[in-house]
Amino acid sequence: MEEDFYKILGVDKNASGEEIKKAYRKIALKYHPDRNPGNKEAEQIFKKAAEAYGVLGDTEKRTKYDQFGMDGLRSTGTPGYSTFEDIFDAFGDIFGGGSIFEDFFGGGRARGKAARKGASLKCDIEIDFKDVATGVEKKIELTKREICDTCRGTGAREGSQPVACSYCRGKGEVQQSQGFFTLRTTCPKCHGAGKIVESPCTKCGGSGRYPKKSVISIQVPPGVEDSTRLRLTGQGEPGESGAPSGDLYCDIHVKPHPIFKRQGNDVLCEVPVPFAQAALGCTIDVPTLTGNIIQVKIPRGTQNNEVIPIRGEGFPNLHGYGKGNLLVQVIVEVPTKMTPRQEELLREFAELEKKNISPRQKKFFEKMKGLF
């Protein structure tokens, strides 16, 4: 039986991305192998949590998992979990450098002169409230440190090549022995590259990278929540020596709407209704997220703040569980200014109310008498 990733992290299926991240962080801090040396049970819990977060922390993988389980991830060739390198980057403050986390998961970050994954990037995307209902494509301009096309990433001037670092002999790291222990540190001269550029490239200055602007299209899915983080795999900066590119993390910011408010997948709309119409019943026009106007029937005797749900007019569920509702909240308006005729009619109505006390009023007065 495959374990439920939500149960592993101890979160609800409707948990937000931030709640999932906090839950994983809590488990990772508690069961990290460095904090539980020799504890196999803690290692197992830690590894399962990392696998669960690798799926639930990725919007695309989470959607497939919610709809089809692990079969959905396998059928598309998507691994059941993110690389632990991604989790390492997201929670570097937990794992830190030199942790046995690297050995525990069979590698982790490359050491020395081994090729390293490209740097991940972050951007912010602002979308309109109504775009959440349908999803929207956004184009952003990013400046990436791409491989220099003059030196092809070597950092060396045309006609020359980098030479092996004399300090670490091309290993990218230096090794020091202290009794039974061996300490490996990054070479201070070549900074782990294992090579030294003696004649730098005139375009990139020897870094092998050059800033270049690029335009990226980002598909924001329907139902996305404010502060959701999307990950675009491989859209970060290129890696070293053929290593994978980093990822692009996009934080979504939803603009507030002047009429609508979000409540989960439901949309709340406060509609003012004159008190006479609320008492007698009426039909009112109400806007929807798509810009259409629908007619909503207000029953006789509708009270202030009563909510009338309109099914299926809310936001679609981000993970494919149908749509929310439009919640029409009736705000009964009491007039502050009246014509002499209106006041005359209301006074007449008030006299009739004195003779015909409502059950609710009667009950209230009985309770009040009991207090004294």
Residues that constitute the known binding site for Zn(2+):
148, 151, 165, 168, 187, 190, 201, 204
Q: Are strands 293-298 and 282-287 parallel, antiparallel or unpaired?
A: antiparallel
Instruction: Count each helix (H run) and each strand (E run) in the chain, helices first.
Output: 12, 15
Distance from C-alpha of 79 to C-alpha of 87, rounded to nearest angstrom: 14
Residue stretches of the annotated binding site:
148, 151, 165, 168, 187, 190, 201, 204
Three-class secondary structure of residue 88 per DSSP: helix
Cα gap 163→64, rounded to integer Å = 48
Q: What residue type is 295 in one-letter code?
A: Q
86 alpha-carbon distance from chain centroid:
15
CA distance linking residue 161 with residue 228, whole number of Å: 45
Tokens read off for 281: 């019943």
At 139, list the tokens.
């184009």
Rounded to 5 degrees, φ, ψ at 19 are -65, -40
Q: Which helix (H) or strand (E) holds 293?
A: strand 293-298
Gap between the Cα atoms of 20 and 14, Å rounded = 10
- Sequence-distant (6+) residues with CB within 8 A of 371 are none
Residues 6+ apart with CB under 8 A from 131: 220
Cα gap 103→273, rounded to integer Å: 66
What tokens does 331 get? 């705000």
H or E, element range at 19: helix 17-31
46, two tokens:
């830690």
